[in-house]
Amino acid sequence: MAHANNKPNPLIVWLFTTNHKNVGILYLVTSLYFLVVAGILALTFRMQLSAPNMVFLAADSYNQAVTLHGLFMLLWVTTPLAAAFANYVIPIQIGAKDMAFPRLNALSYWLYLASGIVALSSFFAPGGTADWGWTTYAPLNTLQYSPQAGGSLMGLAILLLLSSTIVATSNFMVTIFRLRAPGMKLSYLPLFSIFWLVTQFLLLWAFPAFAAPLLMLVADRVLGTVFFTAAEGGALLWDHLLWFFGHPEVYILVLPGLAIAGDVLAVFSRRQLYAKKVIIIAVSVAAFLSYIVWVHHMFMTGIHPGMREVFNITTELISIPFGVIMLSYILTLFRGRIRATTPFLFALGSVILFIIGGASGVFNSSVALDVGMRGTFWVVGHFHYTIVGGGITGLIAGLYYWWPKMTGRMFSEKLGKLHFAIYMIGFNILYFPMHLLYDMPRRIFFYDATTGWGPINMIITMGSLIFASSFIILFINLINSLRHGPKVGDDPWGGANYSLEWNVPSPPPEFNFPKGVPVITAQGLVFKQPWEIKKGITTTGGQQLFTTTALPTNGGSHVTEHGEEHGPHLSPWPFILSIGAALTMIGLVFGVPLLLQGIVIFIASIVGWAWEDVKEKFHVAIEALGEKWPFDRVENVPLGMWFFLFGEVALFGPLFAAYFFVRANSAFTGFAWPLPGQIHSTVIGAISTIILLTSGLAASLALVAIKNNNQRGLRAGLLAAFILGLAVLVIEGFQWAELFAEGYTFGTDIAASIYYVITGIHGAHLLAGLLIIIYLLAKAYKGGYNAEKHMGVYAFAIYWGFVVGVWLFTFPLFYLI
Amino acid sequence: MAAPAPSAEIWNSLFMMYVTSAVVISAVVLAILGYFVLRYRQPSSSLADGGQDEPEFRIGAEPTRGSAKVAIALSVILGLLFVGLTASTFSAMEFMEEIPEDNPDALHIKVTAFQWGWQFTYPNGRTITGELRVPVNTPIVLEITSRDVFHTFAIAAFKVKKDAIPDRINFAWFEAKEAGEYRIQCYELCGTGHAKMIATLLAMEPEQFEAWYGKLSEEKG
C-alpha cells in the first residue's frame, strides 16, 4: 500500500487504518483464522463419531464443539470471508476511492474481531460455552438447563457481531448506491457487487431480527426475564424468531460465493454471462422468498397442516430461481474459450456442489419426506453441500481470483489444481455419505454398534481428514506466493473488460485509480482527470453530476481545502471503541469492575470520535462523483441513517411480534394479562407520549431552522428536543423504579418481561438520541452547520422521528389495551 | 425390503420418487456442464498469453446474451415438476397426518419426554419408562409433550416423528405391521444425555399384548 512520505509505524497503520483495502485484508486474515479454528473443532467431533462406542470427547465437550463450530462457520467465517472480498474489491468495482464511511468500516471490522474474541473466550469460562447447538433451542438455552456463564457470553458475543454487521451493511448500501463511477449503472456491475447488494438487504432485515430473540435470551439469562421459560413464550417463540432469521441467513451465506462463481465462469470463458438480467431478477426473487419459508424448519412442531402446505409450496418455489441461476451459469460456458485455471475450477466446483445440494434440498421442502429427514444427517449433508459446497467453494474461487490483485503476486497453478482435486474428493467423501445416514440423529455424540451407522461414519471421518488437508495445500501455496510468487501486472486473468479492478495496479494504490476517475461512456471505460469531469457530464435526468472536490491522485496524502496535508486516513477510535464494547460484554457476565472499564472506554472513544468530527481532524473526501440512481437526491449520512433505521424496524418488528405472540398465547394458558391501567398508569403514559411528540416536533423545527440558516433556531430546537427527551427518559426511569419498589420486576411474569424489554430498548434509543443531540449542539455552537451543510441534523431528525414512532406503537400496547 | 409400518411404506415410495427425479435431473444438468467444459476448454498452452484474447464482454455494455424465453421455459418446466412432486407429497401427508382419533380400535398413549428418557402412559393410567409396548395392526395415537426442554420423538423405522415441546401437546400416530423391536430416539439436541435418550418400541401380537396389558392393569399402584 502506498503511503505518505512520513510513513507511520506499520502496526499503527494496521490498527488505525480506515482504508477499505486494509480493512479487507484484516477481514481476510481473521476469517481464515476462524475458519481453521472452527474446522479443527469439526475434526474433533468427527473423530468422536468415527466409530460406535467411541470415547474421545465427553458429551458436554462434544456439544460445545458442535455449537461453536456451527456458530463460527455461520457468523464468524463465511460472511466475513465474503466481506473481506467485498471490502477489498467492491469500492474498486464500482469505481470509488473508498467506502462511504471509512471509519465505520474500520469499526465493523474491529467489532467483528472483538465479538469473535469474546465468543472464543466463552470457551474458557467456567462450565464452558454454549452447548445447545447453533440453533439455540428454547428452553434448553435458559439458565435452568444451561447455567454456564459462557452461554450468556456467547449470546452477548453474537449481539456484538450483529451490531458490527448492521454498521457494515448500512455502509455498503450507501457505498454501492451513491459512490459509483460516472456512467456506472447498477446493472453494469459484476455479479459479485450486485449479489452483495442483495445480501445487504437480507442482512439488514435478518440480522436485527435475530438480535431481538437474542436480546430476550440474554435478558432471560442476565436479568431474569421469563420469555423462554414461560408457557406463553417458550420453545415456539424462539423457533419462529430464530427461523425467520435462519432462512435468509442461508442465502446470506451462499449468495456471495455463487456470485463469484458466476463472474469467474464468465471471465475465464471469455463470454458474457448468460441472461444476466434474468439472473439478477432470479436472485432478487429468491431473496424475497427467503423471508416466507421459515416454517419449513418447524414442520414437526405441531403447526397447522394447512400452514405447512403453504410453506411447503413457498419452499419449493425457491428452487425455481436458483435453478434458473444455475442453468444460466452453465449456458454461460456454451461456445466459450475456457481457461481451466484454479479460480475457474473452484467456480465450477461451486456450481456442481450447489446443484447437488439444491437437489437434496427439494426433499427437505416436502412436508411428508421431512418427517424422515428432520434432525438427521441428511439435513447436515444437504446444508453443507449448499453452504460449503456452493458458498465457501465460490469464496475460495474468489480468493484465488483476487489474490494476485491483493498481493501483486501469482500463486502456483499446480498447487492450486492439486488443492482443487483433493478438495473435491475430500468434500464428496465427507458430505455425500451423510445422505445415507438419513436415520441417524444430528448432534448425538455416541451411538452403539447395533445401529449399523459405524462404517459410513468412518468413511465420513476419513473424508473430513482429506478435506481438511486440502486447506494445508492452500495455505502453503499462498504463503509461497507471498514470498516467491512472480509479480503480476494490472490484469493477470484478462478481466480488464469485465470489471474495474483489473484496470488498476496490483495491489492498487491508496485511492485506487492512479490514472484518473473511471468513467463509463458509450465507448466503454475511460479515465478522466477530475477537472475534465467538473465541466459537467450530465445524467439522463439532466442534473449536474460533479460539483464536489477533486480526487487526490497522488497516491496517499491528501490536501484539504485548507491546504493542510494529512497522512493516510487513520483513526484510533474504531479500534478503541471495540475494546470498550468487548470489555462491556465480558463485564455484563463477569462483574461490575470490567463492565465499568468497558463503559468508560466505550464512552471515551465515542467522545474522541465525535471530537475528530467537530475539529474536522479526520477528513477524507469520499464524495459521490457519479452514478447515484436511485438515491441521487439524498446525501450519504442521511441515506446511511435511512438504511440503519430500516434495520431498526427489523429489530422492533420481532419484539412487537413477540408481544402479540405471548399475548395471544396467554388466552390458551390462562394467564391473566394485566388490564389497562392496572399496572402502568395511563395518565403518565399519555403525558410521556405528548412530551415525546413535542420533542420530535422540536427536532424538526431545528432542521427547518438550519435549512434557513437560522443558527439560533437550530440551537433552541435541539436544546428543546434534548430537555423534552430527557424528561421522558426520567419519567420512564421513575416508573421503572416505582414498579420495582412494588415488586413488579423483570421476572414477575411474561407481561412484565415484554414491558421491560421493549421500554428498555426504547429507552436506550432515547439515550443514544440525547448523546447525539449533545454532539450536534457542540458542533452547532462552533457554527458547524449552515443552510448547505446540515446533514448531521437531518440524519438526527429522521432518527428522532423513528424513536417517537416506536413509542407510538409501544404506548397503546402497554397503556391502553 | 418390506416396510414395517404403512407410514414407512408410503414414505419409502415417495422418497424413491424424489430420488429418481433428483438423480435424473442433476445427472442431465451435470452432464451438460461437463460436456461444455470439456468441449470448450482451451489447450493449456493458451494460458501463457495471459488470456488477452478478445472477450465478448465489455464494461458498461448492456448485456445482450440470453433470452427471457429460455428462463421462462425453464421456470415452467421446473414448476411443473414441482407440481407433480408436491401433489404426491400432499397425498402422502394426508395419510401420515390424519390422526385416527375417532377410530374405536385406536389405542391412545401419552408420551412424556424428559431429560433424558421417555415415559408412556396407557389408558389404564399406568406409566412405563423406557419401553413402549403396542399390539400390531392397531392404530396407536400418541399425545406427545415434554416435561422440561424441547425434544423430538421419533420411530425412525416407521418414519414417525414429532416434536415434544413443553406446555404443548402434539399428536402423531402409527400402526406396526410386524411384531418386533424398534428404536425410539430423540432427534433434537436436548443436553448431555441426548445421544442416549432412547426407548424401545415392542410391537407384539395382539394376544400377547392383551395378556401383558391385563397383567399391567391388575398390578397395584
Tell me, what's the pLDDT at A219? 95
Where residue B1 falls among pLDDT bands split at 50, 70, 90? Answer: low
Nearest CA-CA partner of A389 in A200, A293, A258, A287 = A258
Contact indicator for A296, A315 with CB cutoff of 8 Å: yes
* d(C-alpha B161, C-alpha A299), whole Å: 10
By 3-state DSSP, what share of chain B in percent is helix, strand and coil, each rounded to 5? Answer: 40, 25, 35
Is pLDDT of A539 > 60?
no
Tell me, what's the pLDDT at A561? 35
Terminal Cα-to-Cα distance of chain A (whole angstroms):
61
Burial class from Cβ neighbours inside 10 Å (0-12, 13-18, 19+) for residue A173 reads buried
Tell me, what's the pLDDT at A625? 62
Our count of domains for chain B comes to 2
Region A103-130: mean pLDDT is 93
The string of DSSP letters for A505-543 reads -SS--TTS-TT-EEEEETTEEEEE-HHHHHT--B-TT--
Query: Coil, strand or helix: which one is A566?
Result: strand
- HSE toward the beta carbon, residue A23, CA cutoff 13 A: 33
Q: Are residues B115 and B154 in the same domain?
A: yes
Q: Are residues B87 and B3 in the same domain?
A: yes
Contacts 24+ apart (CB under 8 A), A613-617: A613/A775, A613/A779, A614/A775, A614/A778, A614/A779, A614/A782, A614/A784
Q: Are residues B81 and B117 in the same domain?
A: no
Q: Are residues B130 and B30 in the same domain?
A: no
Where residue A308 falls among pLDDT bands split at 50, 70, 90? Answer: confident
The answer, for A494 touching chain B at a CB cutoff of 8 Å, is yes
Q: Are residues B120 and B72 in the same domain?
A: no
Residue recorded with cell 470498550: A580
Set of chain B residues whose Cβ sits within 8 Å of the Cβ of A492: 50
Nearest CA in chain B to A377: B187
Tell me, what's the pLDDT at A547? 34
* d(C-alpha A670, C-alpha A220), whole Å: 22
Set of chain B residues whose Cβ sits within 8 Å of the Cβ of A305: 93, 97
- Least confidently predicted of A634-643, A695-704, B147-156, B193-202: A634-643
Give the one of B10, B152, B192 whose C-beta lies nearest to A60's C-beta.
B192
Q: Are residues B88 and B119 in the same domain?
A: no
Query: Which B residues, 48 through 107, put their C-beta within 8 Å of a C-beta on chain A?
Result: 50-68, 70-71, 74-75, 78-79, 82, 85-86, 89-90, 92-93, 96-97
Is pLDDT of B111 > 90?
yes
Q: Are residues B138 and B72 in the same domain?
A: no
Q: Are residues B77 and B142 in the same domain?
A: no
Tell me, what's the pLDDT at A530? 76
Is A137 close to B189, i.e. CB distance below 8 A?
yes
Query: Which A residues, 641 through 680, put their C-beta within 8 Å of a C-beta on chain B?
Result: 669
Set of chain B residues whose Cβ sits within 8 Å of the Cβ of A309: 90, 93
Contact indicator for A141, A239 with CB cutoff of 8 Å: no
Q: Are residues B178 and B126 in the same domain?
A: yes
Is pLDDT of A343 > 80?
yes
Is pLDDT of A543 > 50?
no
Query: Which B residues, 182 through 201, put their C-beta within 8 Å of a C-beta on chain A?
Result: 183, 185-196
- In chain A, the percentage of residues whose pLDDT exceeds 90 is 76
Q: Are residues B72 and B120 in the same domain?
A: no
Where residue A611 falls among pLDDT bands split at 50, 70, 90? Answer: confident
Is pLDDT of B104 > 70?
yes
Does residue B112 sit within a domain?
yes
Region A258-284: mean pLDDT is 95
Tell me, what's the pLDDT at A112? 97
Tell me, what's the pLDDT at B64? 87
| More confident: A2 or B205 | B205
Give the one of B7, B52, B156 whose C-beta lies nearest to A494's C-beta.
B52
Its domain, for residue B146, covers 107-218
Region A769-778: mean pLDDT is 93
Does residue B32 sit within a domain?
yes
Does residue B55 sit within a domain?
no
Region A149-169: mean pLDDT is 94
Where residue A532 falls among pLDDT bands split at 50, 70, 90? Answer: confident
Does residue B48 sit within a domain?
no
Nearest CA in chain B to A185: B60
Query: Coil, strand or helix: which one is A665?
Result: helix
Is A302 close to B163, i.e. CB distance below 8 A?
yes
Q: Are residues B92 and B3 in the same domain?
A: yes
User: pLDDT of B38-57, one tens digit each?
Assistant: 999 987 655 545 555 788 89
Set of chain A residues whose Cβ sits within 8 Å of the Cβ of B164: none
Nearest CA-CA partner of A206 in A94, A111, A287 = A287
Where residue A612 falls among pLDDT bands split at 50, 70, 90? Answer: confident
User: pLDDT of A553-609, one tens digit each?
Assistant: 333 334 333 333 344 578 899 999 999 999 999 998 888 888 999 999 999 998 888
Q: Are residues B115 and B70 in the same domain?
A: no
Number of H helices, E strands in chain B: 3, 10
Where residue A52 falls among pLDDT bands split at 50, 70, 90? Answer: very high
* d(C-alpha A272, C-alpha A262), whole Å: 10
Region A293-301: mean pLDDT is 87
* d(C-alpha A620, C-alpha A143), whole Å: 48
C-alpha cell at A102: 471509512
User: pLDDT of A228-248, one tens digit each?
Assistant: 999 999 899 999 999 999 989
What is the bridge-based pairing of β-strands B198-204 and B131-135?
Answer: parallel
Where residue A619 falls among pLDDT bands split at 50, 70, 90? Answer: low
Where residue A689 falls among pLDDT bands split at 50, 70, 90? Answer: very high
| More confident: A568 or A185 | A185
User: pLDDT of A709-735, one tens digit each?
Assistant: 999 999 999 999 999 999 999 999 999
Give the one of B42, B85, B161 whose C-beta lies nearest to A339's C-beta.
B42
Interacting residues of A118 by C-beta distance below 8 A, sequence separation 6+: A153, A156, A157, A160, A582, A585, A586
Set of chain A residues whose Cβ sits within 8 Å of the Cβ of B32: 330
Does residue B56 sit within a domain?
no
Does residue B50 sit within a domain?
no
Is pLDDT of A478 > 70?
yes
Highest mean pLDDT among A592-606, A783-797, B178-192: B178-192
Give the one of A236, A326, A499 whose C-beta lies nearest to B59's C-beta.
A499
For position B214, which CATH number holds?
2.60.40.420
Q: Mean pLDDT, chain A, as a whole number?
A: 90
* d(C-alpha A232, C-alpha B181), whole Å: 38
Is pLDDT of A708 > 60?
yes
Is pLDDT of B124 > 60?
yes
Is pLDDT of A537 > 80?
no
- In chain A, the percentage of residues whose pLDDT exceeds 70 is 93
- Least confidently predicted of A28-42, A117-131, B172-186: A117-131
Does residue B169 sit within a domain?
yes
Is pLDDT of B69 > 90?
no
The answer, for A765 touching chain B at a CB cutoff of 8 Å, is no
Nearest CA in chain A to B30: A352
Tell me, what's the pLDDT at A401? 98
The answer, for A548 touching chain B at a CB cutoff of 8 Å, is no
Is A368 close to B196, i.e. CB distance below 8 A?
no
Interacting residues of A521 by C-beta distance below 8 A, sequence separation 6+: A183, B60
Where residue A627 falls among pLDDT bands split at 50, 70, 90? Answer: low
